[in-house]
Chain A
Amino acid sequence: MTVQPIPEIASTPIRSAAVPLQLPGRKKGRWFQRLWRQGLKHLVLLVMALLFIFPLFWMILTSLKPLPQAVTFPPTWVPHPVLWSNYPKAMASQPFGQYFYHTLVYCVTTVIGVLIASSLVAYGFSRIRWQGRDRVFFVMVATLLLPYIVTLIPLFVLYHHLGWVGSYKPLIVPTFLGSSVYSTFLLRQFFMTIPESLSEAARMDGAKELYIYSRIILPLSKPALAVVALFQFIYAWNDFLGPLIYLNKQSLYPLSLGLNEMLGTYSTNWSWLMAASTVATMPMIILFFLTQKTFIQGITLTGVKG
């Protein structure tokens, strides 16, 4: 990376003349101060980290308490006795098996849809040069800023007439038609980084475009495909609004709607509610720890740099 001129700083009068050249923390006698500073940094970070993790910790603690203990004020910390039975009871209060099954179906099918459609579209936007490509790409990216509310009502009417309301079709089918613009964008960014010479060489050998796509570009893009699959999985797992609008029967609900339903029925049984919330959250946290590398890759892919 080349060194850029520092904006503004040159024009700002700074006490450069008055202050003798002094690089912080470089002098020998300052080790104590440095230690103190490091300690302070750790302290601030540690307090923040604990504050951020605490809600999850409290969720699990509450889920293991007998209800009367959960709702005492001031709160007691250690569950006594540790009531594991809150979990099976909370799970039995609602058809959670069904909820899980629907959520998984929603996640897996839309991940497949996104992997197929978004990669094809991203290929068309990055590996083939055609007139007007970048203008069309701009239109696609601009739709990211379109409030979902603006298209919501006609879509509902459309799906109603197609007889799709009351099924997962409105949530699944669009992903096979490139509705996940963000995924397409990320894949396109990645495809752009693959040297053009690879495609050229294959074309010289008479390879068809679909062959280059499936045999050269996709295998090279496994990390990016993993990112997109992961993001879509989490999105579908957490989606609330889509299911709320299109799924009108409890027998169709995914976890997100099921949990909301439970909140309506057992609004004061905090032990059960926390047990159910823990069950809905844990798969995401486990997934996060298993795929941390992919997460970091995803962040680099967005390519928003200073």
Chain B
Amino acid sequence: MPADVARQTAGRAARRQRNRRLRLGLLFISPWIVGFLVFTLYPFLATLYYSFTNYSIARSPTWVGLANYQGLMNDHLFWVSVWNTAYYTVLEVPFSTVVAIAFAMLLNMKVRGMAFYRTALYLPTVVPLVAGSVLWLWLFNPSFGIVNDALGLLHIPGPGWMFSAVWAKPTFVFMGVWAVGAPMVIYLAALQGVPQEMYEVADLEGAGPWQRTRHVTLPMISPAILFNVVLALVAAAQYFTQAFVMTQGGPDDATMFYSLYLYEQAFSYLHLGYASAMAWILFVIVVVITLLLFRFSNRWVYYANE
């Protein structure tokens, strides 16, 4: 029957068209597919395998079962690094989030010359990490640093900053404020997306500044908050460069962060299996925290489009 034949032909043409598009699409993304398989998926699985082996690159890995994980449980320095990283993360993520939002709100005010203020607050984010670390070593220098000099003017005795086991981690948190520009501009963009009418309605309802913030601003920028908090968590869990450059884990292992210890195990001692076990533990922790954040995000994240 002609109608049937026509439908069949049309169906075949559509299928051919679909396959052609599939081939084309895969062709365009093929660089990433190769990269993903070689540089992400393979190493991701290989770390898991290495974590069950004794491996030092010179000889091929030998299976040791759970020995690396058991070793870690009894490794004092491992627990120190877990504690340091947790301490830093718990301090850093809320602090930087509050600061970034507060600064973004200040930069969202209607004031002349705002371009200058925005530029000034964003500028430090382009300073190379190592140069910034060297600079803060100098500013926080306990003997000659300008920070302790300024505190001295207020008759506050300055601490030893990163040379003090107590102050070292908070010092890194304070330092992080200087580079708060990256999340700050994301919050700023989110704030600019809040419809002005909502504030007018809030004003009509007699809402004060605090109520406007609590009931209009924060719910409206909550997707940006979730986004930034997840990124900040992942970054804090892997905090490395500043500690490597400035303190190398000292004083008294107070800044021996997780990645620093992992780096030491992997590249100073070539304990690749041991370090791989550390990597997988961190991966599981990060995944669990991220999933929990997303899982409970519907309680406080507000999506206007839904």
Mark A residues whose CB is within 8 Å of B: 1, 3-4, 6-9, 12, 14-16, 18-19, 21, 23-24, 38, 41-42, 44-46, 48-50, 52-53, 55-56, 58-59, 62, 70-75, 117, 120-121, 123-125, 128-131, 133, 136, 139-140, 143, 145-158, 160, 174, 176-179, 184, 209, 213, 234, 237-238, 240-241, 244-245, 255-257, 259-260, 263, 270, 273-274, 276-277, 280-281, 284-285, 287-288, 292, 295, 299-300, 302, 304-306
Contact = CB atoms under 8 A, between A and B. Distances in A.
A150 B280 contact: yes
Nearest to A292: B119
A73 B290 CA distance: 47
Contact of B279 (A19, A59, A150): A150
Main secondary structure of the interface of B (DSSP, over half): helix
A90 to B, nearest CB: 12
Contact of A12 (B132, B211, B282): B211
Interface stretch (B21-29, B64-72, B74-82): B21-29
B124 A70 contact: no
A174 B42 CA distance: 14
Contacts of A241: 240-241
A157 to B, nearest CB: 6
A52 B18 contact: no
A4 B222 CA distance: 15
B25 A133 contact: yes
B106 interface: yes
Contacts of A71: 143-144
Contacts of A292: 119
Interface of B: 18, 21-22, 24-29, 31-32, 34-36, 38-40, 42-44, 46-47, 50, 57, 103, 106-107, 109, 111, 113-114, 116-117, 119-124, 126-132, 134-139, 141, 143-144, 146, 149, 152, 178, 185-186, 188-191, 193-195, 197-198, 201-207, 211, 215-216, 219-224, 227, 230, 234, 237-238, 240-241, 244-245, 259, 262, 266-267, 272, 275-276, 278-280, 282-283, 286, 290, 302, 304
Nearest to B220: A306
Contacts of B111: 38, 41-42, 45
12 contacts: A3-B198, A49-B116, A73-B143, A75-B144, A128-B24, A128-B28, A145-B286, A153-B272, A257-B130, A259-B134, A302-B186, A304-B223
Contact of A117 (B18, B32, B136): B32
Contacts of A263: 134, 137, 245
Given A56-B123, A304-B223, A136 B29 contact: yes
B197 A304 contact: no
Main secondary structure of the interface of A (DSSP, over half): helix
B149 A74 contact: yes
B215 A8 contact: yes
